[in-house]
Amino acid sequence: MDWYPAPDEDVLLRTAAKFATGLAPAVSGCRWFRDPERRDIQDELQGWPLGPAYELRSTGDKLARRTGRGLLVGIPMIANLIANLGGAAGTPLGEVPTRGNPEDPENEVADFPVMWAAPSTLARTIPWQLDPARRPKDYATDLVLTDRRLLFLGTRWGTVEKAEVLGEIPRARIAEARQMKFSEINADVRLTFADGSWVRLFTGTPDSAERLGQVLSGTVRVLAERELSDGQRERVARFRSELPTKAHPPTYTMLRSGIVMVEARVPVKAGSGLFETHSILMDAAGEPATPTPDDL
């Protein structure tokens, strides 16, 4: 692991994170940074390098974008098929999702802000490295949620350098994390802060987007490794020994029945910032367990 929490701090979730990208034809491939008056504020963001200026797509662009997105949606399906044929331990990219209807048409169809922030609000402090159009091509960013704060980390692919802490926000100032299902592979999340500002991020997997909301709302309980029983720790050690060397450290979620779900993310080659999730379910003794209807 290239970043470590404080000795008395527990990591609850770590996932890829970057500013999302529009899906609807008029905003496909675009993202904007807005204030509550819907003005573009990217030139007001302190320390940010210049970025592209997007415009709504024309009718011709919309048709081309529909075709291109059809190919992209096929990536998770193909990756899952290949992995299943090879007997992979997890499901790459989660289940192949279907695009639902826009939940917020004003901000998903007619416009696509990935930052909504009045002056001096928290969203304006989000690091610019989360913008794929501004950062180097070999740069990746992660979101880490602990029991006390939310952090953004930056790393360069193919290096052994420690992750750079790009910014952090006290957990108490996070109001909500909501999975936005009208997005590529259902992996977008809207992170709203206590001051009403928000950002929309792509998290790499639909599981990560859903789990971030569950953890922040208290719907599920995430355990620290030190809370596991001896039998559970032994099972986790075997699970980790079977993972690829590039796997991220696992997380531990207690379901309503008391069963513990162990999940580990592994980067996949289908696209940068995408992952497959390997998981097991175990009881209090570390033995294999089956979820109950209440867990589903």
What are the domain boundaries of the chain? 11-295
Full-prediction pTM beyond 0.85?
no
Cα separations (Å) of 119 from 116, 122, 191? 10, 9, 17
| pLDDT value for 63 | 47
User: Which DSSP state fits 247?
Assistant: P
DSSP code string of 78-135 = HHHHHHHHTT-SEEETSS-------SSHHHHTS--EEEE--TT-GGGGS-GGG-TTTS
List Cα–Cα distances, 136 to 30, 130, 275, in angstroms.
Answer: 18, 11, 20
175 burial (CB, 10 Å; 0-12 / 13-18 / 19+) is middle
CB 224 within 8 A of CB 10: yes
Count of other CB atoms within 10 angstroms of residue 29: 14
**Predicted pLDDT of residue 205:** 86
pLDDT reported for residue 61: 56
Q: What is the pLDDT along the chain (296 residues), one digit of tens a residue?
A: 578 888 889 888 889 999 999 999 999 999 999 999 999 999 999 999 999 999 998 755 544 444 444 444 444 433 433 333 333 344 444 444 556 689 999 999 999 999 999 999 999 999 999 999 999 999 999 999 999 999 999 998 766 678 899 999 999 999 999 999 999 889 999 999 999 999 999 998 898 899 899 899 888 888 988 899 999 999 999 999 999 988 888 989 998 899 999 999 888 776 666 678 899 999 999 999 999 888 87
Residue 149 DSSP SS3: strand
Candidates 243, 160, 183; CA nearest to 19 is 183
Q: Which residues of 211-249 are buried (b: 16+ CB within 10 A; e: fewer)?
A: bbbbbbeeebebbeeeebeeebeebbeebeeebeeebbe
Closest CA to 254 of 278, 289, 230: 289
Q: Kindly give the pairing relationship between strand 188-193 and strand 174-180.
A: antiparallel
Number of Cβ atoms within 10 Å of the Cβ of 45: 18
pLDDT at 228 (0 to 100): 95
